[in-house]
Structure 1
Amino acid sequence: MVTAQAPGKLYIAGEYAVVETGYPAIIVALNQFVTVTVEKMADYGSIVSKQYQENSLLWQRDGDAMVFDNRDNPFHYILSAINLTEKYARELGKPLALYKLFVDSDLDSDDGKKYGLGSSAAVTVATVKALNKFYDLQMSADQIYKLAAIAHLDVQGNGSLGDIAASVYGGWIAYRSFDKAWLAAERNSHTLAELLEMDWPQLQIDLLEAPAEMRLLIGWTGSPASTSRLVDKITIAKAKKRAQYEAFLTESKAIIEQLIKDFRAHSLAGIQAGIRHNRTLLNNLADFSGVAIETPLLKKMCELAEAKGGAAKSSGAGGGDCGIVLIEKQQPIEHLLSSWQAAGVEALDFQVHLIQD
């Protein structure tokens, strides 16, 4: 029997632009985990999860046909991770086995609602890590990232894969996405083992260190959002309003590159300024795309935090889920947290998760 964990994540800055090749974002891993246990079985295999037994299916009409959207269904990410990890194992000459795969998750609320912590990425990474141990594949962190990224991309079809990076490497990271068109082309002519050894164009993952005096606060709106569908809507807007979208990308890149410098300089004031600038930019994106990124409750959460000296914005795709606040550790927060509670925002008591070597 083997067990592996992968942490959840929150985007700090750079959302939406990061889905484009080479555009930066800052992401943080949290101490909430998906845990996958693999136990060898003699006669049959199984996949079991307490949290995902009654996962809902979303569907639309295409004419009279029902078309299902499986991108928010964790089982599809588990199956994709199993398929690709076992393909890699076969390429290495490893015999395959029957096993029970058990999944346990901290990334949802007690009543099953998603916090927006990247559960699909975490379950993909945890599955790959567990099978890496089970089959003794001896993959490096870079190889685990690449294999999990392919598995996740095969299901979701869009996104930056930055949440995969956070689940693999932990801590605060500066992330730039690889060229997905290049990967699609190379998969036609290379084995999986070869792909995992190659340099992926534009991919960059760098660990950052937060200023010692900085505190991260997380507010949850209680309203789950679908990253995949929000990214779909931005993709449509991108095609219709190309010039505005290109201007958004240029400004986002400048903001995040300065934020990375401020992290490296341990400048809390600079980081807070960058967070506020990024919030304004995302609200501009929402205006010209028609996508509701900062919901009324996220806006209220941010306003209450700003009044207490924090720099606040939505996290990730927005549309619900969480917002983040970066505030000086010595700043009293009790009144802020009580005002959040009165407004319907739940403060999540999660900490940054650093992966030890």
Structure 2
Amino acid sequence: MIEVSAPGKLYIAGEYAVVEPGHPAILVAIDQFITVSLEKTENVGSITSFQYGNLPVLWRRQNDLLVLDKRENPFHYILAAINVTESYAKELGKELSFYSLMVDSELDSSNGRKYGLGSSAAVTVATVQALCQYYDLGANNETIFKLAALAHLSVKSNGSCGDVAASVYGGWLAFTTFDREWVLKQQEQNQSVKTLIEREWPHLSITPLTPPLDLRLVIGWTGSPASTSHLVDEVTNQRSRDKQAYEVFLKESALCVNRMIEAFQAGDIKAIQTQIRKNRELLVQMSKDTGVTIETPSLTQLCEVAETYNGAAKSSGAGGGDCGIVLFDRKEGLLSLMTAWEEKDITNLPLHVYTKAEK
């Protein structure tokens, strides 16, 4: 039995701009996980997930391709991860076999509502990691990231894959995405998976950050789930209304996040907080320019309450609901903030930054 866990993520800064190649964002991996267990079977395989009623979806093989017994299935990211990783395994001369794959997630609430912690990325990464172990592929972090990113591209994901990077590498990360058009062009030219992941991907950059010792991350959840892919699509569709405003947003976001990265390197909490507030302003302005709601009234309340207790706050990820993040100097008291949030129906998620050495 192989068992692999991958952590969820939260965006700290650089949302929306990060979908453009070379535009930086900062993310963290958090200590809630998706666990994939994998065990060899004969003649037929299965995929089981607690989140989908624990009924196994059975699969067989036709010409080494995985074929489901049910046409409708909720496992798009898992299947994409299997297809990409097994293509790579075959190119390395491995013989494909059958296995049962079980998924368990801590990234949703007990009633199945999503917190916005990157479950699609985490399940993709955990599946890729489990199969790399199963087929003994000796994959490093970069290989796992690229295999998981290719899986996301294959299901037409419009995200940056920053959440994939957080699930693979853990901790605090500075991230810029790759040129997806370049990757898709390589695939059109029938580039093998092995060749593609061995090549350097234009603009891709994943850099671990060390946070200042007294920096404290606090996470609030508004209780209102949001669809990242839907919001990113909306912004993409609307930004053509004012291309100049969008170009200004991209430029200002890059400036803000790069300054924040420098503040991390200098261990300067006040400077980090200044850029968090600046990034919030940029996202609010971009929201006005595109007409897409990013900071909902609940997220505005979350931020405003946190600011009264000396925290620097903003929406996290695509916004439209889900989580907000607050960065504090550890010396500041937090109990009053929790009470004030409770009165506004905002839930503090007791999560911590996850670094790989911890697990």
Corresponding residue for 1:288?
A: 289
Corresponding residue for 1:15?
A: 15
Amino acid at match of 1:95: E
- Residue by residue over 1:239-288, the C-alpha shift from the partner in whole angstroms, topping out at 9 and shown as x without a partner, is 22111100100000000000000001010000000000000000000001
Tell me, yes or no, if the aligned pair for 2:91 and 2:194 is still in contact at 8 Å.
Answer: yes
Which has the larger displacement, 232-241 or 267-276?
232-241
Corresponding residue for 2:50?
A: 50
Matched, 1:341 2:356: no
Tell me, yes or no, if the aligned pair for 1:37 and 1:101 is still in contact at 8 Å.
Answer: yes
Tell me, yes or no, if the aligned pair for 2:48 and 2:54 is still in contact at 8 Å.
Answer: no
What is the CA-CA distance between 1:337 and the residue it aligns to? 0.3
- Residue by residue over 1:2-61, the C-alpha shift from the partner in whole angstroms, topping out at 9 and shown as x without a partner, is 111110000000000000010000000000000000000123110001013399xxxxxx
Corresponding residue for 2:210?
A: 209
SS of the aligned residue for 1:103 comes to strand
- Residue by residue over 1:89-123, the C-alpha shift from the partner in whole angstroms, topping out at 9 and shown as x without a partner, is 11111011110000001000011100100000000
Matched, 1:224 2:219: no
Matched, 1:252 2:253: yes
SS of the aligned residue for 1:77 comes to helix
SS of the aligned residue for 2:110 comes to coil
Corresponding residue for 1:173?
A: 173
Q: What is the aligned length?
A: 340
Amino acid at match of 1:77: Y
Tell me, yes or no, if the aligned pair for 1:15 and 1:317 is still in contact at 8 Å.
Answer: yes
Corresponding residue for 2:145?
A: 145
Corresponding residue for 1:132?
A: 132
Corresponding residue for 1:235?
A: 236
What is the CA-CA distance between 1:87 and the residue it aligns to? 0.8
**Rounded Cα–Cα distance in structure 2 between residues aligned with 1:260 and 1:76:** 34
Which has the larger displacement, 181-190 or 209-218?
181-190
Corresponding residue for 1:119?
A: 119
- Residue by residue over 1:160-183, the C-alpha shift from the partner in whole angstroms, topping out at 9 and shown as x without a partner, is 110000000000000001100000
SS of the aligned residue for 2:36 comes to strand
Q: TM-score, normalised by structure 1?
A: 0.93
Q: 1:159 to 1:318 in 2, by over 3 A?
A: same
**Rounded Cα–Cα distance in structure 1 between residues aligned with 2:349 and 2:145:** 27
RMSD of aligned residue pairs (Cα, Å): 1.3
Matched, 1:28 2:24: no
Amino acid at match of 2:292: V
SS of the aligned residue for 1:274 comes to helix
Corresponding residue for 2:184?
A: 184
Q: 1:156 to 1:347 in 2, by over 3 A?
A: farther
Q: TM-score, normalised by structure 2?
A: 0.93
Tell me, yes or no, if the aligned pair for 1:156 and 1:228 is still in contact at 8 Å.
Answer: no
SS of the aligned residue for 1:29 comes to strand
Any gaps of 5 or more consecutive residues in structure 2?
56-72
Any gaps of 5 or more consecutive residues in structure 1?
56-72
Tell me, yes or no, if the aligned pair for 1:225 and 1:318 is still in contact at 8 Å.
Answer: yes
Corresponding residue for 1:196?
A: 197
What is the CA-CA distance between 1:237 and the residue it aligns to? 1.4
**Rounded Cα–Cα distance in structure 2 between residues aligned with 1:16 and 1:341:** 29
Amino acid at match of 1:298: L
Corresponding residue for 1:331?
A: 332
Corresponding residue for 1:352?
A: 353
**Rounded Cα–Cα distance in structure 1 between residues aligned with 2:92 and 2:188:** 19
